[in-house]
Structure 1
Amino acid sequence: MSRTTRLFDLMQTLRRHRRPVSGTVLADELGVSLRTLYRDIAALKAIGAEVEGEAGLGYVLKPGLLLPPLIFSEEELEAVALGLKWVGKRADDGLAVAAGEALAKVAAVLPGEQRHRLEDSALLIGPGWERPQAVDLQILRQAIRDEQKLEITYRDQQGRRSSRIIWPCAIAFFESTRIVAAWCELREAYRHFRADRIEAAEATGQRYPRRRHVLQKEWLQTLLPCSVTATVYPVPTSSREKEQSKMEQELVFYTNPLSRAGIVHWMLEEVGQPYRMEVLEFGTSMKSPEYLAVNPMGKVPAIRHGDTVVTEAAAICAYLAEAFPQAGLLPSPEARGDYFRWLFFAAGPMEMALSLKHAGFSLTPEHELQFGCGKYETVVETLANAVAGRKYIAGDTFTAADVYVGSHIGWGMQFGTLERRPEFEAYWAGLKDRPANRRSEAFIAEAMAAQAGAGNEQPTTS
């Protein structure tokens, strides 16, 4: 077996193990000596593989981009080179520089012969049709990434200027021009703007009300020809109609920012569906007949989606992930076991054990038989093992379970109801800076500041 093949096999073996695995186990699986294994792991790290761990502790391969030379055929190399060179010639300056750096990084990990082929490609990019560009495309790309409204000055084909607020969601690169697809507040419809006719663009600092992937889906639907709906295309419409109906139903979020409703707030921001927020006060509007008709417990959070009412934060997260699959918050089928297991572990044993601990209750052996949560120490150890070495709690993608589990871990460490452990801090560090979470946290911070200014104190649970 060649060393290149052996390194590739080692990488594939590490990918199969989601938790740290000892060097002895890896060496046995690959049929090599432990000494050879250590050398091969060092070689993988040298070419960019994010392998964490060390001898005696075990190893785990973090998710990330790794381009080992073995995976490139000649045509794949030509495709990579051609694509990056096209970006260098046709995109804006920022992407052009990034494309050059990416090409250099690819070349750096290739063996000598393949590196020569990459640099000596016979596929060339000819000159394009250059037009003066008043606004750097990087401004437009940043607005799309941040899901921010832009105020632009636009000159149409007749030379007439107008000022508009747009919600940019895509940029199309053509040989002769670049087109920005966006919702236009002036026209109240999706419009296409020639980038070279945008004379000025300034970020408003305001986030547009729907997520970018929702805008893109709506925009693409406006491009479909009428014939798509004709019977010549035998596509079942029942499930599509149901999904569209769900998207059109009003979504109401009952909350108090100083409560567990913050979990649902984060989830709603991840979903990206428009919703109406009703902020309730503890002991007053939360116990009113109107709200008790929604949730007889008189507690938040709760949502009303059309005629459907859902209470309890974990249930709401699970419901929203199912109701709006386009948000991508459900894991793949093979990861559903972990998804439901840890979502409801956090809602059941973890929630109860942390609450009892915080209230000063110490469970006796008899209590442990009666309470479903078990000991606090056992719960913490089980949860730490569940998140150790994992970016997400279920599979390789962010899901609704990460919203719920992550919220409890983040808040627990912040308020001292959950002990700080390296496993918890590493897991939470990968979630806390998600834009949706930051938006929900900003709302909570504003509410706390307002409360402090009023000199009032309210409970932080419900």
Structure 2
Amino acid sequence: MSRTHRLFELLQMLRRRRRPVSGAELAREAGVSLRTLYRDIAALQAMGAGIDGEPGVGYVLRPGFLLPPLMFSEEEIEALALGAKWVARRTDEGLSDAARNAVTKIAAVLPPELKPLLEDDALIVGPSWERPQHVELKLLRRALREERKLAICYRDEKGARTERVIWPVAVGFFESTRVLAGWCELRRDFRHFRADRIETAKILETRPSRRRQTLVKEWRKNMLTETDGMLAYGRSAPANLKGNPMAKELVFYTNPQSRGMIAHWMLEETGAPYAIEIKDYGTTMKAPEYLAVNPMGKVPAIRHGETVVTEAAAICAYLADAFPQAGLAPEPAARGDYYRWLFFAAGCVEPAMSNHSVGWDPATQDMQRRFGYGSYAAVMDTLARAVAGRRYIAGDAFTAADVYVGSMIGFGLRFGVIDKRPEFEAYWSGLENRPARLRAAAQAEKLASKQAWAPA
């Protein structure tokens, strides 16, 4: 490495740090001796670099010092080109134009041998799931930049419209949607608003009573930081009773955007304290530590003391038995319908819904014999008869079977993978507002927000 390049790298190291850093740490990172590091610092200071500090105290680069980079590396050029392509395809017209202009300016200063990297199409940004938007994102970004209140008309997922005044905090650009985070004066709390559901928006002259940086800190703190069900809901586990299942550690492995919601609802119904461990698809779900819990590398799963249970239906059945005080299972002699419909939902309803959602159903009698559920139509007809006129699926009381069957029907109705039959809608309407389900849904939403908005 040339001395010129080494000096530039040293400046980059100092730029990345906001607090003084010791010469020894800089020397280790640069791969040079401490004596050489001191000589390099002195050389940069002689050239006019705003470096404050001295040996034995530490060094910091004063804010505002700028030194033009020597040149981008090949990977830096690829990163800039790919980032500009993403912005051009995933944001609003204003940012798209700005990204193209930035690339043009970068190209103007690149040497001829590096310009092809900026124009290379080897790295491609694919199309995203575009939703029509009534309000330009440029307006939302302006409200953020100017720190002004925003008056909006918002339509929720059920079509209900509300007029709100919000204090914008951030705009999230996700693959399938754009989301505005802000303090809502109507709800007196932080809320997230999908941009495609904002029907009108107007920037107000008034400003929020707190600066945006303060709001950002409050918003991040508001997103669930506790992942322990006992702390979140103020429960305690009495440990003085020998053999009491409440005294055993109960760990819930999940992802807030998964079938884990079924087990989450069930856990809330038991009233037992539990800890939550979030697993990410493709990474921590496939890590050796979690594969030791569930070799399939998927969620949900629970560990109760030394007992591990996977599969949502099995978790529901296990928890009902492990916490009999919650009354989530009938007496053993009256469990015929309970077992029947709990496992019918797991063994027939879910696979039939999954196959149907991707446009495939067993078409012939021979194919239907090969699949345990027969046909999608037969499954839906059977399920409709099972819930018709019933508040609960297995008798006069709510049970774990209702958690699983209700979850299947609620999911199917929401995402259009089952028909909106009156039998299904009536049954689900009696379950969707249960306090335990609403608590689980609220906690899952906060966990999902924390996960989605986590700093990169």
Rg larger for:
2
If the length of structure 1 is used for normalisation, what is the TM-score? 0.46
